[in-house]
Copies of this chain bind each other. A is one copy, B any other.
Amino acid sequence: MNLPDDKDILRGDIRAVARAIRAVEDGWPGSRALLTRLFAHAGRALTLGITGPPGAGKSTLVDRLTTHFRKQGKTVGVVAVDPTSPFSGGAILGDRIRMQNHATDDGVFIRSMATRGTLGGLSAATMAALLVLDASSKDVLIVETVGVGQDEVDIASEADLAIVVLVPGLGDEVQALKAGIMEIADLFVVNKADRDGADRLASEIEMMLSLTGETKRERPPVVRTVASASQGIDELAKTIEEVRARRESNGELAARRRERLLRQFEAQVEGLLREKVRRRIDALDSSLHLRDRVQTRQIDPYSAADETLKGIE
């Protein structure tokens, strides 16, 4: 559990970066101090959040965008939040499959994260991984999540720019999932746009956008792609850059980053607090036997919680 050298992380050495991410994910000794040091070197990368229902082709899209950015000479870090159970080893297998197009390219770092069992919660783990990648001099960070759980949607919405990927023909019930993620989109992608129903989907999105009537906010552009055939990727990258430039000049990008820092701060407070609570309950247990009394219904969970926190203001 030796931490890598800061300077190796900062110059983007792949092994050092991988080890640093593992360290912060698993909470190795010294990993918090490492994050504090790396923070001073972070804050320059453009962070894209990509989300959408399962089957929308997000991974392929991320792969093609990565290729595009690399051609422009930009380095890329990807964090893919993988809904697969850690028991199935999905995340690790996922990395290997994802890596294959960029395996020999030192300018790309790809990391999959399981959505369970990450210390301090998924959001904190993702943020820490992004911070490491940011400090490792990546120009573009992409965080990809399945837009089905609230956590996953939140993570994507905290990026500089949230891209919601939809596809024609997923059926009504799956499209219902959109409701929760429509609000966060800064940009829509209609992927698999060569399929039947692509036009209808695009007009549905446009109609919905005109109905919500957000006059103060710019209307999110809708871009069509066929990621598997690398179609529409240039157009998508161009649109991303346009939105980014506009947000930079009108101050929205900076405002969003300030918001994100605030949420990270609050999330850190919560995470630390949770650890302290666990220790406190352990300590109280020997004197008050609260856990026992709760489990045997001698005291209700609400009163037991009050008891535990007595004296904390």
Contact = CB atoms under 8 A, between A and B. Distances in A.
A304 B308 CA distance: 25
How many copies, total? Answer: 2
Contacts of A296: 258
Contacts of A171: 55
Given A300-B39, A302-B36, A115 B273 contact: no
Nearest to A306: B272
B151 A294 contact: no
Nearest to A268: B305
Nearest to A90: B179
A265 B277 contact: no
B115 A150 contact: yes
A247 interface: no
A222 interface: no
A180 B115 contact: yes
A235 to B, nearest CB: 25
A116 interface: yes
Contacts of A273: 270, 273-274, 277, 309, 312
A85 B270 contact: no
Nearest to A34: B302
A258 to B, nearest CB: 4
A268 B305 CA distance: 6
A54 B179 contact: no
B116 A150 contact: yes
A303 interface: yes
A269 B281 contact: yes
A262 B276 contact: no
Given A54-B177, A277-B269, A264 B149 contact: no
19 contacts: A39-B300, A39-B301, A39-B302, A83-B180, A87-B183, A149-B150, A174-B174, A258-B295, A261-B294, A262-B294, A264-B294, A265-B305, A266-B277, A269-B281, A269-B308, A273-B277, A273-B312, A276-B313, A312-B312
* Chain A to chain B: the 6 pairs with minimum beta-carbon distance, closest first: A149-B149, A268-B305, A39-B300, A55-B173, A148-B148, A258-B295
Given A115-B150, A149-B150, A269-B308, 8 more contacts: A40-B300, A54-B176, A85-B183, A150-B151, A264-B294, A266-B277, A267-B301, A268-B304
